[in-house]
Structure 1
């Protein structure tokens, strides 16, 4: 699907592998400078479905980006259900994203957690076939926030951080899902969340499903290209490499560049203390 300008000034895009699988076909969409890369796996390796999905909302003035990345199994029902549910919350979420910066992330966390643990949401999940990993990520001003269930990853690329090996902001969490098997249906749900302040200069925010990790050496050897080269081209090249290496699993990537000003006078080296 293509991106659309909405009357509220938000550019939005959604895609599910149930709509277009992209088996044997690395594909790129550009949504207001946010790159969505889709690949459904190599059919010669046995790929015949794509259960990933993606949602992108971008304020037209680029004050924030809101993205969701999904990696389902057993069927695409859980990913499609999450798209439907987030879209049903669109007005409320956008209101929070436009609220004072100091309140945005805690308000989002509280709102989403209340929704994911609501009986209305949980009862719908119980009717699904299969479950999904779910990564939500927001960039607002000079801060990046994420909320994750399962094994999707968010990476933050910046030269000062990459030289210390600081790239992935979360780790894969196995046996943690949303859907028929549902972490939010437990007395204590399991998920990860966090906030990072951006340093001065250009960053690349990169979300990936775990299919891309089947590349030899994973993503590590590709960080430089993803940061230094034109982003759409670098993402397409990476997905093409996945195809050439005969990867069976679907691989979806969402990436965009963010430039942060020197707003805090942060030191250019880690503290020894």
Structure 2
């Protein structure tokens, strides 16, 4: 297994985009343009990558980076339990989904002691299936030619009044979050997780999912494409932090089709 853990508090990446890799996963970090007033980075990311699976968390905090850092610590605390489920010979995505949900719900009181809140998007992909849990407005894309022809690009809806931390949608009388499991299509599937700094800059070119799909799937490959997009955000003077996590899966199994 290869892993990557990063907090913008410790490494704000204000000088321009930086690209990292963990196994098959490309990770792009950009803390905003210092010339436009950017002085901090409150994003964070975690990636665990096995031979045929990826577990990833992307975070976008406000008011301080304490909430994002606390969620990273929560997943590091629960790492052994999660990996025990993930690395089973035939892991159940429902079991992993339940474990992630319990981990976050169980951390509500601990997270309430920090300053500020964070959006939190968690993904687990194993073989031809993808599970996610989303709190807040981070965006998740599943890109495949069959889906793009039908105008489908995203798996999440950006929810602007959900967070975990000092104010938490998980602490409501009925905890509020989004979660799901999706079958990947046959062939190359591209999965991408992004924070809103990539989307809300200039005239918002990357808010158009079709445009983002074209940019991300350019011939230069995922790392090059992410670097180019973040360089454009930096050039446009984006003051907010932008983080991207992306990887590709070649699924040999035909996807479900309708009868008749």
TM-score (norm 2): 0.93
Q: 2:198 aligns with which of 212, 216, 221?
A: 212
Query: How many residue pairs are counted as aligned between the two chains?
Result: 255
SS at match of 1:113: helix
| Contact 1:212 1:219 (8 Å CA) reproduced | no
Equivalent residue runs for 1:30-179 within 5 Å: 30-59=21-50, 62-99=51-88, 101=90, 104-118=92-106, 121-179=107-165
* Distance of 1:74 and 1:213 partners within structure 2: 20
Q: Are 2:5 and 1:14 aligned?
A: yes
SS at match of 1:106: helix
1:258 corresponds in structure 2 to: 249
**Which segments of structure 1 move beyond 4 Å, counting only runs of 4 or more?**
none
Distance 1:177 1:147, change over 3 A: same
| Contact 1:24 1:243 (8 Å CA) reproduced | no
Query: CA deviation digits over 1:77-119, x for unaligned, max 9?
Result: 0000111110111110011112364x6222122222223222x
Distance 1:265 1:143, change over 3 A: closer
Query: CA deviation digits over 1:13-66, x for unaligned, max 9?
Result: 10000111011311100111211100011122221110000000011xx22100
Cα RMSD (Å) = 1.7
TM-score (norm 1): 0.89
Q: Are 2:174 and 1:188 aligned?
A: yes
SS at match of 1:41: coil
1:4 corresponds in structure 2 to: none
The answer for unaligned runs of 5 or more in structure 2 is none
Equivalent residue runs for 1:228-267 within 5 Å: 228-229=218-219, 230-261=221-252, 263-264=253-254, 266-267=256-257
Deviates more, 1:232-241 or 1:157-166: 157-166
| Contact 2:71 2:111 (8 Å CA) reproduced | no
SS at match of 1:167: coil
Distance 1:158 1:124, change over 3 A: same
